[in-house]
Structure 1
Amino acid sequence: MTRIRLLSTLTATALAWAGATDAHAADKWATIKGQVVFPADKPVPEKKEINVTADKEHCLSKGALVGDELIVNPKNKGVKNVWVYLKPAEGDTFAAGDIAPALAKTAAKEHMVDQPVCAFAPRIVVARAGDTLLVKNSSPVPHNIKFSSDNLEFNQTLAAGGSFKPEKALEAQKNPATFACNIHPWMNGRVVIFDHPYFALTDADGNFEIKDAPEGKFRIFYRHENGYHKGKDGAKGFPVDIAGPTLEMKPLEIVLPENK
């Protein structure tokens, strides 16, 4: 009886310890929310009209095409298409314990890029290593896509209504992969590919959300296709102390080469 009681006590203690450990693990993840905005003391930049040199009838069928490298919401000055992501306080690789179990292994995502009216949609993409691309041409005129990354390159012409899916998956790399249309030279885009799940792309209001981020001290990066927030300093990231369940960050006034 004594031995049975001892085993029962040890088992109960072990279960209680395991439960406490699981509870602690469940509490170590946080959701980060924030907004990237254009500086309050600067006017919203004017959109520049694109000089359309090919397939004018179709390309201009819905009005003039304008540059969309820097998209600022005139209502709240939110900046669209800013990559926001995390890195450890030191180094570039997350420890296994800093990746939430639900995010450690996720199904690959297929990113569709279309070319409906002489512009890529979307033209700015954020992806995780292992994700794939699907390129479509839903327009009535031929298009082309020339894609270049560290592990994947192709130059594919797409007939009206055509599509193309590369066999290779995307691999993580430091700099954005690029794509462009040789037929319509003003068309271009970017893909940033991460080896971890802690990234986001700002929406039309400049808002972003990163879920299940690890608690603790890390670095946060704000990167636009025109450069890092605050240039070379921003390329190193900015310290952030993450605590859950939700970290509401103050709106960040992004400083880029175009708006210094």
Structure 2
Amino acid sequence: MWDTNLPIIPLYRGPKASSTSATLLLLVIFICCVQACGQQVAAAESASITGTVKYTGEVPQLKFVDNGGVRRELLEVDRRSSGLRYAVVYLLGEFPEKGDSSADASDEEPVLIDQIDETFEPHVIAIRDGRDVRFRNSDGGNHNVRSATLEERNEFNVTTAAGGEYTHTLHMSRKYSPVRIGCDIHPWMSAWIYVFDHPYFAVTDELGNFEISGVPPGDYTLIIRQPDAGFSEKRETTVKAGEELNVEIEFSTDDVRD
């Protein structure tokens, strides 16, 4: 006979998993998979535009002489390849999504333009709307930073003492007109800032090369500009999914505007 007075001992079934936690874990995994797949599809569908901008002919000089009595060159050209530095290349057209460019740009570190050796370095930059630009004086004497622009919010005129800095938030002007930066104390000093409401732009490097990546398929106008010499060219371009489109642009002495 069984002793019915013996204590009942429950069977061990292991830790009891929370159904809510398991569901949340599965949901997170699912979302990550969807995002990863979406990024892979977007990368496969997007295209890139690469190319080189060149200049052939005599390089013009600035109108002003510096403190050493030298008239500096207006353009920076690689003598071996004829590559033109500081040309801006960008797209015009209908993009699927531009997003809130100001919100995106405001979270990024300011772009630095240094006043060094009585020049602005870099000489030309391109940024998204709402991005901060920091001007720093690395020279031993005083400088000035004055903007010339079609956009009222981009107007400023400040003195930057030796070691001093000034930061300003830049916004897009109509027709993507650049902001010209100058120094009233040293009139040969200049810089240019292009501001865009989309990410499809580039500035050529020291060999004149550029790349615009992540371009959605479609029909666009490719714009090439160099503000110092007044160079401007546009090309109608069709971009196909997964394509790498290569473009060669060449300017000459005849294209220089006074």
Same fold (TM over 0.5): yes
Aligned to 2:5: none
Does residue 179 (structure 1) correspond to residue 184 (structure 2)? The answer is no
Give yes or no for contact 1:218–1:240 (8 Å, CA) kept in 2: yes
Provide the rounded CA distance (Å) in 1 between the counterparts of 2:191 and 2:64: 15
Aligned to 2:44: 27
Does residue 152 (structure 1) correspond to residue 157 (structure 2)? The answer is no
1:24 to partner: Cα distance = 4.6
1:91-125 deviation line (CA, Å, top 9, x unaligned):
xx5332xx599xx9464341111111111111212
Aligned to 2:10: none
Tell me the TM-score normalised to structure 2 length.
0.73
Aligned to 2:211: 209
Give yes or no for contact 2:239–2:245 (8 Å, CA) kept in 1: no
1:41-87 deviation line (CA, Å, top 9, x unaligned):
xx3426569522xxx4xxx4xxx755343222110001111100011
Give yes or no for contact 2:88–2:203 (8 Å, CA) kept in 1: yes
Give yes or no for contact 1:38–1:44 (8 Å, CA) kept in 2: no
Instruction: Report the 3-state secondary structure (helix = DSSP H, G, I; strand = E; otherwise coil) of the residue aligned with 1:186.
Output: coil
Provide the rounded CA distance (Å) in 1 between the counterparts of 2:64 and 2:85: 19
Aligned to 1:221: 223
Aligned to 1:45: 59
Give yes or no for contact 2:59–2:74 (8 Å, CA) kept in 1: no
Aligned to 1:78: 83
Instruction: Report the 3-state secondary structure (helix = DSSP H, G, I; strand = E; otherwise coil) of the residue aligned with 2:238.
Output: strand
Superposition map of 1:49-64 within 5 A: 51-52=65-66, 56=67, 60=68
Provide the rounded CA distance (Å) in 1 between the counterparts of 2:148 and 2:207: 30
Distance 1:202 1:170, change over 3 A: same
Provide the rounded CA distance (Å) in 2 between the counterparts of 1:162 and 1:100: 35
Provide the rounded CA distance (Å) in 2 between the counterparts of 1:252 and 1:214: 22
Distance 1:135 1:25, change over 3 A: closer
Distance 1:74 1:216, change over 3 A: same
Q: What letter is aligned with 2:237?
A: V
Question: Which structure 2 segments of 5+ residues have no match?
Answer: 1-33
Question: Which structure 1 segments of 5+ residues have no match?
Answer: 1-17
Give yes or no for contact 1:33–1:246 (8 Å, CA) kept in 2: no
Q: What letter is aligned with 1:148?
A: A
Give yes or no for contact 1:100–1:214 (8 Å, CA) kept in 2: no
Give yes or no for contact 2:113–2:133 (8 Å, CA) kept in 1: yes
Give yes or no for contact 1:38–1:79 (8 Å, CA) kept in 2: yes
Does residue 36 (structure 1) correspond to residue 53 (structure 2)? The answer is yes
**After the TM superposition, which parts of structure 1 deviate over 4 Å for at least 4 consecutive aligned residues?**
46-50
Structure of greater Rg: 2
Tell me the TM-score normalised to structure 1 length.
0.72
1:161-189 deviation line (CA, Å, top 9, x unaligned):
111123xx211112111111111111112
Q: How many residues are paired up?
A: 213
Instruction: Report the 3-state secondary structure (helix = DSSP H, G, I; strand = E; otherwise coil) of the residue aligned with 1:38.
Output: strand
Give yes or no for contact 2:76–2:85 (8 Å, CA) kept in 1: yes
Distance 1:192 1:48, change over 3 A: closer
Give yes or no for contact 1:49–1:65 (8 Å, CA) kept in 2: no
